[in-house]
Amino acid sequence: MRLLAIETSCDETAAAVVEDGRRILSNVVSTQAEIHARYGGVVPEIASRHHIENIGPVIGRAMSESGMEFGALDAVAVTQGPGLIGSLLVGIQAAKAIALVHDKPLVPVHHIAGHIQAPFLSAEGEIPLPALCLVVSGGHTSLFEMPAEGKYHLLAKTRDDAAGEAFDKVAKLLGLGYPGGPVIDRLAQRGNPESHDFTIARMKDGSPDFSFSGIKTAVLYHVRREGVAPAIDLANVSQEICDLVASFQRAVVASLVRRMVLSAKEKRPGSLILTGGVAANSLLRREAAKAAEGLGLPLFVPPIALSTDNAAMIGAAAFVAWRKGTRGGMDLNGDPHLNLA
Ligand code: KG4
Ligand code: ZN
């Protein structure tokens, strides 16, 4: 079963050809990060326009690198949501056009199902289910229980900002550009994570949910109170900023790992999955690995290129959806707030 998968939900234009939901035949990602960097975040209208320019060449490259012709595909998969509506529609229209012209079935995919399925592309052997899946990206921070492939029960979510959003907002505040995660990850290695006492409070009502807007505000107040000067040159960032981001990162990672451990003790899954753009974070990877070892559970984390947005993960999730009979018609529409059923 070979399918072409298309992903355009945010600022990456991506296409991939995936076999049986496991084997990547091609995986092309064209990122717009540099274009949005000057605005400190993704500008939806600009993202849509760049998707329109990029979608044809990206699909063309994915097909030629896979060595396949459109006619030999079994299906065309596309991210239906959640995401930016203008961006989603570019991928959906392209997928519909290919499906119509080449008479192929269309498979709509939930973006988060893609992130959850990403480790299946790189895992050697089977991933023991049920799995406890922590999805941490720029738009989402959620913990799911996956009793079987393609089934997801939401256990916890963020009440406000996503973890990646907090990284991006703190980076913007400190003049570190966009996206914030990778640069904070790098600078934190030069900083003292104990220099600032940032903690993320637990929910007062005992809910397992996450919250990351408070820590972002705490960093903002600290910067104002102490008059911390934003970075001007990324090659020459002050020790003060390195200490600040190291402490911020420590608190965010501690909150994520703590919730994963508590839920693992309660749910007793067969494995742990850590995925989404923030799963690229080196401290989070280290701390999650330590926690998994302590729990005696295998941890599956996609390689960085499959943690951040890509289309191969959409192809992996599409294979699961396809086997469940999910199909889209020519009336398929983007849904910016699509729920993961
Ligand atoms: O999954 P993704 O590529 O797109 C969404 O679906 O949102 O995630 C992007 C997010 C951004 O907020 C970015 O700052 C964050 O992932 N990110 C990181 C790292 N690399 C990317 N956050 C922390 N540490 C990193 N190394
Ligand atoms: Zn994503």
> What's the CA gap between 312 and 25, in Å, rounded?
9
> What's the CA gap between 170 and 341, in Å, rounded?
32
At 296 the pLDDT is 98
| 38, pLDDT greater than 90 | no
| 200, pLDDT greater than 90 | no
Please choose, from the candidates 187, 186, 175, 142, the residue with its C-alpha nearest in 3D space to the C-alpha of residue 161: 142
CATH number at residue 260: 3.30.420.40
Q: Is any ligand 1 atom within 6 A of the Cβ of residue 318? A: no
45 assigned to some structural domain: yes
For the entire predicted model, the pTM comes to 0.96
For ligand 2, the distance from its centroid to the CA atom of residue 305, given in whole angstroms, is: 12
Measured on CA atoms in the order 142, 145, 146, 151, is the torsion positive or negative? negative
Question: Are residue 107 and residue 158 in the same domain, yes or no?
Answer: no
Question: Are residue 232 and residue 138 in the same domain, yes or no?
Answer: yes
Question: Are residue 222 and residue 152 in the same domain, yes or no?
Answer: yes
The residue nearest atom 1 of ligand 1, judged by CA position, is 277
Measure the CA dihedral 198/203/204/206, to 10°. -140
293 assigned to some structural domain: yes
| 98, pLDDT greater than 70 | yes
31 assigned to some structural domain: yes
Q: Where are the alpha helices (DSSP H) in 160-300?
A: 163-173, 180-188, 213-226, 239-267, 282-295
Count of Cβ atoms closer than 10 Å to residue 45 Cβ:
9
CB contact at 8 A, 10 and 165: no
Please choose, from the candidates 256, 317, 313, 321, the residue with its C-alpha nearest in 3D space to the C-alpha of residue 290: 256
Provide the domain count of the chain: 2
Average pLDDT estimate for 75-85 = 98
Question: Are residue 175 and residue 266 in the same domain, yes or no?
Answer: yes
197 assigned to some structural domain: yes
Question: Are residue 215 and residue 101 in the same domain, yes or no?
Answer: no
Q: Where are the alpha helices (DSSP H) in 67-192?
A: 85-101, 111-117, 163-173, 180-188
* Percent share of the chain, pLDDT over 90: 94
Side chain identity, residue 240: E
339 assigned to some structural domain: no
Question: Are residue 149 and residue 106 in the same domain, yes or no?
Answer: no
Question: Are residue 160 and residue 288 in the same domain, yes or no?
Answer: yes
Question: Are residue 143 and residue 291 in the same domain, yes or no?
Answer: yes
For ligand 1, the distance from its centroid to the CA atom of residue 71, given in whole angstroms, is: 35
CB-proximal residues (5 Å) to ion ligand 2: 137, 309
Average pLDDT estimate for 120-129 = 93
Q: Is any ligand 1 atom within 6 A of the Cβ of residue 245? A: no
69 assigned to some structural domain: yes
At 341 the pLDDT is 65
| 327, pLDDT greater than 90 | yes
340 assigned to some structural domain: no
For ligand 1, the distance from its centroid to the CA atom of residue 216, given in whole angstroms, is: 16
Question: Are residue 30 and residue 159 in the same domain, yes or no?
Answer: no
What does the mean pLDDT of the chain come to?
96
Index of the ligand 1 atom closest to the CA of residue 139: 7
Q: Is any ligand 1 atom within 6 A of the Cβ of residue 278? A: yes
212 assigned to some structural domain: yes
CB contact at 8 A, 285 and 119: no
Q: Determine the residue of 169, 253, 308 to mutate for testing ligand 1's pocket, defined as the one with the most ligand atoms within 8 A of the Cβ atom.
A: 308
Question: Are residue 113 and residue 147 in the same domain, yes or no?
Answer: no
Question: Are residue 202 and residue 263 in the same domain, yes or no?
Answer: yes
Boundaries of domain holding 63: 2-117+306-324
Question: Are residue 153 and residue 267 in the same domain, yes or no?
Answer: yes
At 229 the pLDDT is 94
Index of the ligand 1 atom closest to the CA of residue 304: 20
